[in-house]
Amino acid sequence: MARKPVIAGNWKMFKTVEETVRFFDEFKPLVAGADHCEVLLCTPFPVLTAAVETVRGTGIAIGAQNLYWEKQGAFTGEVSAPMIKAAGCSHVLVGHSERRQYFGETDATVLKRTLAALEEGLTPVVCIGETLDERESGATEAVLATQFTDGVGSLTPDQFSRIIIAYEPVWAIGTGRTATPEIAEEAHRFIRQKVAEKFGAGLAGGMRILYGGSVKPDNVNSLMSCENIDGGLVGGASLKPEDFAKIVHFADQPA
């Protein structure tokens, strides 16, 4: 089954409103007419509205980087799915490894946030991935299987068909140490196999699985050439309009 690639940026805790507007002024012409893939930018909460305004009329989608699972209430500092939806977003990152590492995110809370996003019609981009210790001790597949089973594995098939998975090996994030296409493809194949075991070959064949971890213009083409890699979740290189536009045009980059 043909899967439309998704090239997503995760700005993490970077960019003010002014910097956001400047980014899109440069970025939009560079990707005008690029309909071979979906283009998504996940920005900090305070710039979501400015980002949504500036991409209006282009095909570029805007997402948040986290959400809380309650719709509203006395939860100081939190942001809900209806708020993100009302800001004009279509997507939201869930369970990024930095949220797991620094903010106590677990597979159980990943599931709650995923359900809250789906209920609002947002597309959750659910992140999984092993740490360096886990990889070096040979636990990669066990870790991925647990993150899958205890997290999104308990969605209904209909819910599951509306999510995107991002495989982000923690040791490759922000380190410049990209997983080789072979290592990434092996993990993606394993994840798709887990999806097939749980939800069947049809859903597994349609599921987009993005790779994240030091994706750059000079490695994106070889990653995107892998059968089971359906896109990228890009941190550092999504902050620069030219670099991120090159990643969007992945097929034109050196293989």
* Nearer to ligand 13P among residue 214 and residue 222 (C-beta): 214
CB of 159 to ligand 13P, least distance (A): 22
* Nearer to ligand 13P among residue 199 and residue 238 (C-beta): 238
Q: Computed over its alpha carbons, how large is the radius of gyration of the chain?
A: 17
| Residues in Cβ contact with 69 at an 8 Å cutoff, skipping those fewer than 6 apart | 80, 81, 109, 112, 113, 115, 116
Residue (of 47, 76, 41, 67) closest to 234 by Cα position: 41
* Nearer to ligand 13P among residue 40 and residue 204 (C-beta): 40
CB of 12 to ligand 13P, least distance (A): 7
Per-residue DSSP letter, 250: G
CB of 136 to ligand 13P, least distance (A): 19
Catalytic residue among 38, 91, 96, 134: 96
* Nearer to ligand 13P among residue 118 and residue 247 (C-beta): 247
For this structure, is 91 an active site residue? Answer: no
CB-nearest residue to ligand 13P: 235
Residue (of 161, 59, 149) closest to 110 by Cα position: 149
Contact 90, 52 (CB under 8 A): no
For this structure, is 141 an active site residue? Answer: no
Q: Which amino acid is at 51?
A: A
Catalytic residue among 130, 168, 185, 188: 168
CB of 237 to ligand 13P, least distance (A): 6
Q: Interface with ligand 13P by CB under 6 A: which residues?
A: 10, 96, 168, 173-174, 212-215, 233-237
DSSP letter for each residue of 125-190: EEEE---HHHHHTT-HHHHHHHHHHHTGGGS-HHHHTT-EEEE--GGGSSSS-PPPHHHHHHHHHH
Residues known to be catalytic: 96, 168
